[in-house]
Amino acid sequence: MLIGGMQKNSLIDYPGKVSAALFTIGCNMRCGYCHNPELVLPERYANSMNLDEIFDFLEARKDKLDGIVISGGEPTMQPDLYDFIKTIKEMGYLVKLDTQGTNSKILKKLIEDKLIDFVAMDVKGPLDKYVMLAARPVDLDTILESISIIRDSGIDHEFRTTVVKEQIDPSDFQKIGELVKGAKRFALQRFRPGNTVSPSFSRKTTYSDEEFEEFKEIMSKYVKECVVH
């Protein structure tokens, strides 16, 4: 496991739980808006942390933390993710996995073996914009499969889309809604400029609060709960 960072205490990464978050190094997408270039761009990779120290920390915090969030980068690119999560589960933690759905096989296995309790999957946008948004080739069948696996899993889950005004049109929300129809929860994430994978995104914008309320109304027709971050 290549872990480039750890958030030792978080009230936001795992809804309703006190958690620690671990951020894996490496991603097979290059979303321009991504705020983790040190986990995504090889020339900027963070140093990987010592796993023994991470496990010592998790062992020591068992009474204070409810869950562990495995985020990235893209965690499912790590070949030893399954065993890593299994060890964390054996410590008694709840586990939340953040993914963009490009590895449906490991996702399915983790869910089937009851090793994860919550999955949050990025849905980059409507299928016809996926390659543009990810800035990499994407196997759309695998994305669809991951969505189905998560939605039908019965475990807590959330799909989420980061909304850059120059990339996502208001008419795209119906298409996104169709993709995630029946899901428990959907999060609309406002794009915030900053330290992004593509420097050109410092000039990009997002929609107004009123417009986000309209998007929320559209998405609420497709999912049980829709939130705006």
Minimum distance, C-beta of residue 74 to ligand SF4, in the bound complex (Å): 5
Q: Is 196 in the site for ligand SF4 (CB under 6 A)?
A: no
| Sole binder of ligand SF4 in the list 19, 24, 100, 167 (CB under 6 A) | 100
State the minimum distance, in angstroms, from the CB of residue 25 to ligand SF4: 10
Classify the C-alpha dihedral 105-19-157-168 as positive or negative: negative
Q: What is the 3-state secondary structure (H, E, C) of the chain?
A: CCEEEEEEEECCCCCCCCEEEEEECCCCCCCCCCCCHHHHCHHHCCCCCCHHHHHHHHHHCCCCCCEEEEECCCHHHCCCHHHHHHHHHHCCCEEEEEECCCCHHHHHHHHHCCCCCEEEEECCCCHHHHHHHHCCCCCHHHHHHHHHHHHCCCCEEEEEEEECCCCCCCCHHHHHHHHHCCCCEEEEEECCCCCCCCHHHHHCCCCCHHHHHHHHHHHHCCCCEEEEC
Give the x/- contact pattern for ligand SF4 in 117-146, rule: CB under 6 A.
-----x------------------------
Is 4 among the residues that bind ligand SF4 (CB under 6 A)?
A: no
Span of 7-15, 23-31, 45-53, 165-173 interacting with ligand SF4 by CB under 6 A: 23-31
Specify the residue, 116 or 197, whose C-beta has the smaller distance to ligand SF4: 197
Number of residues that bind ligand SF4 (CB under 6 A): 13
Does 30 bind ligand SF4 (CB under 6 A)? Our answer is yes
Q: Which is nearer to ligand SF4, 31 or 115 (CB)?
A: 31
34 binding ligand SF4? (CB under 6 A): yes
Shortest distance, position 62 Cβ to ligand SF4, whole Å: 28
Interface with ligand SF4 (CB under 6 A): 27, 29-31, 34, 36, 40, 72-74, 100, 122, 197
